[in-house]
Amino acid sequence: MNADRPLALIVDDDPGCRRRLRAALEQMGFAVLEAAGGRAAASLLERERPGLVCLDLTLPEMSAYDLCERIRRTPSLADVPVLAVGEGSRPLERAHAEEAGASAYLSRPVKPAVLAATVEELVGAGTRAVALP
């Protein structure tokens, strides 16, 4: 990974969602890693320390909430911002994500301006607003 760019990890089983988030985060200056599930993300997190994790809350094979809790329990990752992405029609989802340790929550469809503002708030002013493709 390029040491000049912060690293983001996108964890989502939907390739289209990963592609849109990747494009937006790269435009904000991030280098991006992707994982299609919780186990793959956990494996990546053993080797990499991202500056941001974008976490789909409906993952196959491993609960996103368990993954978020695992991040919070790992000393080297405990302060990494976790941006949970879920379905806005599920009222308890946000509360459950926050209880698991998520730093912020966005509902699908993710609005570009809201994504940019949230990422900037979580990781600092080095990011810039972009439009999702």
Q: Tell me the pLDDT tens digit for each residue of 8-30.
A: 999 999 999 999 999 999 999 99
Is 35 domain-assigned? yes
**CATH number of the domain to which 110 belongs:** 3.40.50.2300
42 burial level (CB within 10 Å; 0-12, 13-18, 19+): middle
Is 17 domain-assigned? yes
**Percent of the chain whose pLDDT exceeds 70:** 90
Residue 108 clears pLDDT 70, i.e. is over it: yes
What pLDDT was estimated at residue 43? 96
Is 90 domain-assigned? yes
Tell me how many domains the chain contains: 1
Is 132 domain-assigned? no
Residue 118 clears pLDDT 70, i.e. is over it: yes
Is 96 domain-assigned? yes
Is 131 domain-assigned? no
> pLDDT tens-digit profile of 85-97?
998 767 789 899 9
Domain boundaries, position 13: 7-123
- Close Cβ partners of 50 (under 8 Å, ≥ 6 residues apart): 6, 7, 8, 9, 33, 80
Is 84 domain-assigned? yes
Is 130 domain-assigned? no
